[in-house]
Structure 1
Amino acid sequence: MENDGTVERNFQPPIIITGMSGSGLSTAAKVFEDKGFFVPQNLPPQLIVDMVKLATSKNSPVDKIAIVTDVRARMFQGSLLGTITDLKDFGYEPIILFLEARDDVLIKRFDGMRRTHPLQGDDPLSMGIQRERESIAPVRDQADIVIDTTNLSVHDLRRAIEASFGDVAEKKQHITIESFGFKHGSPPDADFMFDVRFLPNPYWIPELREFRGTDPQVSDYVLSQEDATSFVDKVTELIGSLLPGYRYQGKNFITIGIGCTGGHHRSVAISEELKRRLSQRGDVDVSVLHRDISRK
């Protein structure tokens, strides 16, 4: 880090929160505020580097910062990609969190709030959303974490953010294992996706149906299957073999999707076991998110 008045402190990597308007940027900001981050919002790209430098200066009271920049801030001169490059050149390694959602869901959210899209002008709302999606696509490609909020409530989004980040102070790769039900749609942000519907379904066992994969009764049943043990062994080996390559490429956030029919039993039990196995490595931070465990 260059000598510009900043000092080497226990300063966590700066987080850039961006994405589609209506995808939950304000909710994300509140999550990080609750976690003790200083969260300036809608900074133009040119001011983001200055803000990070100020936060890391010698007498700054801030030791972790998350900056929200949306389409309104991007109307100013400068590009967010250029800002990210500048941060890296100054010795900061920002973590990019990108939020998105399907067009029809964004339209419904804008209509519900009776808002117009900043880029729609005199055109239909769908045109504004399309323009924004095209303009921000290069930033999405650079993102460390992409969260699709199409099917997420405010509380679901909070849990997804907390699971995805873990302890960002740790200089480790972070793995999020997300269980889900295929009948609710697969997670579009998963780097890997595995289908465990080949395992016997506890739903068809009356005494197990009302329990979940986090309960010992169900977990013991699922993991007692010979195919389950083999599956977890192979996935653990596969992920372990890929981690060095991802680390070399600078990819430090990895999402693994584990799916069954409803996201209640098999995927949950397998996800918990994968978390246990991968956590034993010691060189990765692993968290688990059960997306559909409470859904019917």
Structure 2
Amino acid sequence: MATRVVLVTGPSGAGRSTAIAALEDLGYETIDNLPLSLVPRLLDGPLLRPLVLGIDVRNRDFSVTALIELIDRLTRAPALRLEVLYLDASPDVLVRRYSETRRRHPLAPEDAPLEGITLEVDLLAPIRARADVLIDTSAMSPHELRAELARWFDLGKIARLAVSLHSFSYKRGVPRGLDMMFDCRFLSNPHWVPALRPLTGLDPAVAAHVAADPRFDPFITKVRDLLLFLLPAHVEEGKSHLAVGFGCTGGQHRSVAVTENIARALAEAGWQVSKRHRELERRALAQPGVKEAGGA
């Protein structure tokens, strides 16, 4: 059976150290800040139990390119089952946490924490997009974070399949790592309704417009039934994670509404579901004070 390996990363102050300690308590072997160049050598040796590797910008030879190459290499290794855990938090929360601890940011030790936080969010954006599990700790206490990690990574529940649903824009390309995807561009497009154009698929008015398309209900029913048929089979095959994508032209309206609908249906059926709205996340990153990583 493949050995479970969890790469834990994210911006400084988002809870990475707390997460690594929590995963150690769950029974994982944990190693923090190992140079990236030494990771393949470590994994070539015998692994007696599931492994957690903490990686951030303080790693001695850290680079985004090297980390992406490492993720790709470990994903292809048949003896390993890799998961990337990304701990995130909003910039204002990260600034507050740095102010409370009076620590200096590793990317801007001589400047205000916001400078380093902005640089780090920009730097890590491509890794965030590759995450299998994304946890926003902005409103979480350490106790709540530990409980969330137990829900995802408890070794006693390893047979439980984690399902991640992704909305995206075809114009920006298909997200990497999807196991299957569905095209939502045949549905009625709210973009052509002036009042709905600036809104997103999270807005009830947009969701109602998309759902009013007579093809919507049959589509949702067929996709839901297909997934509910396939998920137990993936569990039997030993998979721990399944990524499903829903795309539309801009990734703002139809794909978001469909993702939300399917997520509710799977959760009501008892499956562990997380959601990622890639283009909405890009819009959030583009807000003042936070740079968006071009091409991420």
The bucket for the TM-score relative to the shorter chain is: 0.5 to 0.7
CA contact (8 A) 1:165 1:174 kept: no
Q: Secondary structure at the match of 1:264?
A: coil
Gaps of 5+ in 2: 87-121, 137-147, 284-296
Instruction: Give me the whole-angstrom Cα distance separating, in 1, the residues matched to 2:281 and 2:123.
Output: 17
Instruction: Give me the whole-angstrom Cα distance separating, in 2, the residues matched to 1:146 and 1:38.
Output: 16
Q: What is aligned with 1:79? A: 44
Written as runs of structure 1 = structure 2, the 5 A alignment for 1:56-71 is 62-63=25-26, 65=28, 67=31, 71=36
Q: Secondary structure at the match of 2:272?
A: strand
Written as runs of structure 1 = structure 2, the 5 A alignment for 1:180-259 is 180-259=168-247
Q: Kindly provide the CA deviation profile for residues 77-113 of structure 1, in whole angstroms up to 9, marking residues without a partner as x.
A: 6616x42xx32xxxxxx3889x9xxxxxxxxxx9xx9
TM-score for the superposition, normalised by structure 1:
0.60
Q: Which residue of 262, 283, 291 maps to 1:274?
A: 262
Q: 1:71 to 1:234 in 2, by over 3 A?
A: same
Q: What is aligned with 2:10? A: 27
TM-score for the superposition, normalised by structure 2:
0.60
Q: What is aligned with 1:38? A: 21
Q: Kindly provide the CA deviation profile for residues 159-191 of structure 1, in whole angstroms up to 9, marking residues without a partner as x.
A: 952289792138231111111111111111111
Q: Kindly provide the CA deviation profile for residues 208-240 of structure 1, in whole angstroms up to 9, marking residues without a partner as x.
A: 001110000000111121211111111111111
Shift of 1:249: 1.1
Shift of 1:206: 0.3
Q: Which residue of 246, 257, 273 maps to 1:286?
A: 273
Shift of 1:37: 3.2
Shift of 1:73: 2.6
Q: Secondary structure at the match of 1:152?
A: helix
Larger radius of gyration: 1
Instruction: Give me the whole-angstrom Cα distance separating, in 1, the residues matched to 2:212 and 2:150.
Output: 30
Percent of aligned pairs with the same amino acid = 26
Instruction: Give me the whole-angstrom Cα distance separating, in 2, the residues matched to 1:151 and 1:260.
Output: 26
CA contact (8 A) 2:263 2:273 kept: yes
Q: Secondary structure at the match of 1:208?
A: coil
Q: 1:259 to 1:165 in 2, by over 3 A?
A: farther
Instruction: Give me the whole-angstrom Cα distance separating, in 1, the residues matched to 2:164 and 2:12.
Output: 20
